[in-house]
Amino acid sequence: MEVITSKITSKGQVTVPKSVRDSLGIKEGDFLAYEVHENNAVIRKVPKIDVEWAKSIESTLTEWADGLDDEL
């Protein structure tokens, strides 16, 4: 496994190295998720949501809109 490093700026920003972006298929506007486990972090690309599909099933999710779960 190749170890790739990058430097954090004074504002807490970091550039994701090109080889990592290419490997994960990361492009401008994509989101990354960070999972911290003790002294280690895992960075992964967040999958894009298919907005058309999400809108098409929205009307089937009415059981979550009644507020009954909030009372439990």
In the chain, domain spans: 18-59
Regarding pTM above 0.95, the answer is: no
Supply the pLDDT for residue 57: 83
Residues 6+ apart with CB under 8 A from 7: 14
3 state SS of 50? coil
> Alpha-carbon distance 43 to 34, whole Å?
5
Which residue, 41, 1, 46, is CA-closest to 26? Answer: 46
Q: Are strands 40-45 and 32-37 parallel, antiparallel or unpaired?
A: antiparallel
Of the candidate ranges 1-5, 15-19, 21-25, 56-60, the one whose mean pLDDT is the lowest: 56-60
Mean pLDDT of 31-43: 93
Helices (H), the chain: 18-24, 51-57, 68-71
- Confidence band for 60, pLDDT divided at 50, 70 and 90: confident
